[in-house]
Amino acid sequence: MGGELREFGGGMNLSDFIADENADQKIEIEKAVERLGHIDRAVLYLWVEGYTQAEIGRMFGYSERHIRRILANIREKCPKSDS
66 within domain boundaries: yes
Q: What mean pLDDT do residues 47-59 have?
A: 95
pTM equals 0.66
15 within domain boundaries: no
Query: In the prediction, which pLDDT does 52 show?
Result: 96
> How many domains are there within the chain?
1
7 within domain boundaries: no
Percent of the chain clearing pLDDT 90 (strictly above): 39
2 within domain boundaries: no
15-45 tens-digit pLDDT: 565 566 677 777 777 888 888 899 999 999 9
50 within domain boundaries: yes
More confident residue, 25 or 55: 55
Query: In the prediction, which pLDDT does 57 show?
Result: 97
Range of the domain at 50: 20-77
CATH number for the domain spanning 35: value is 1.10.10
- Provide, for the chain, the percentages of residues in helix, strand and coil under a 3-state DSSP scheme, each rounded to the nearest 5: 60, 5, 35
